[in-house]
Structure 1
Amino acid sequence: MGRVERGAARKVAGVRPVGFFDELMPGWGFRGGGSIKDAARTSGEPDEQGILSYLRQGAEIWSEMGAQPDVLDPEGPILAGAGSLYTDGVWLWRDDLTYYVATYHLVLPQDFITHVRERDHAPPRVPESQLLDILTNDLGIRVGRAGTAG
């Protein structure tokens, strides 16, 4: 893809963030996720497996090489690539959201749950041009061609 510069993230009228809780870093500049502790519960949605499938099948838009501990359990696993990002073209989430929903049955915004159900738990294919637009406009990442100013 070429040279990549990671700038300050900003929310534009593009993708909507889901699962960017205060304890999770990087937060990409998205605010309002609240504490993950407040979102944890003992059981999930009746269709939690479908929601997890949707999250796993999103289009990967950014890969993080780092690893982070489970922020709710100091004895829990280390999550490789936790800050990697996925999207369905409408919503944007971190890779570790799948782990936290599966393990702690997080409450997610009803708008997101409705969106997933309306698509029968199957995210659409996101065109590369839209992924680049999300990287540039929503995440503030400049992507240039190798050997150019970007």
Structure 2
Amino acid sequence: MTSTQFRRTSVNPPQPWPAPADWAEINDRVVHYLTKAPAIAFARTKEDDVLSGKPFAVEVAMITDGTWIWPAAVDYYARNHDIAPEPDFLQHLRDQDFTLPEVTPEQRAAATAALRS
């Protein structure tokens, strides 16, 4: 198997970058994309919501679309606190027209290996 480079993103509330001007219009499409992508790593715990203080609210998992890897917290904070993903990642979603590509087993395995490197 050839080595695959993955782009990585995270979320650090409160939002460290401005929300895009069209965030209200695209939020649902972004959340749909983020929630439909496959998880490649899980933890048996949840983290506290750092904005609301709600305990054990945020899934601990890593997700991929075959190009990017992101924590499940990106979806959680977009869905629950209107925090947009980082601009480069959001542009990637726009470039995909917010349509999740098929993620092959090989891509999932490569993303999992990338997490370990």
- TM-score class, shorter-chain normalisation, is 0.7 to 0.9
Equivalent pairs, count:
113
Matched-pair contact (CA < 8 Å) for 1:40–1:104 = no
TM-score, normalization: structure 2? 0.79
Runs of 5+ consecutive residues of structure 1 not aligned to the other structure: 1-11, 22-35, 142-150
Task: Please state if 1:98 is matched with 2:75.
Answer: yes
Task: Please state if 1:139 is matched with 2:112.
Answer: no
Which structure has the larger Rg over C-alpha atoms?
A: 1
Task: Please state if 1:49 is matched with 2:28.
Answer: yes
Runs of 5+ consecutive residues of structure 2 not aligned to the other structure: none
Tell me how far 1:44 sits from its aligned partner.
Answer: 7.2
**Where has structure 1 moved over 4 Å in runs of 4 or more?**
40-44
1:67 alignment counterpart: 46
Matched-pair contact (CA < 8 Å) for 2:66–2:108 = yes
Q: How does 1:12-23 map to 2 (within 5 A)?
A: 14-21=5-12
Matched-pair contact (CA < 8 Å) for 1:79–1:96 = no
Tell me how far 1:105 sits from its aligned partner.
Answer: 1.8
Structure with greater helix percent: 2
TM-score, normalization: structure 1? 0.64
Alignment root-mean-square deviation, CA: 2.6
Identity %: 21
The CA distance in 1 between the partners of 2:17 and 2:79, in whole Å, is: 10
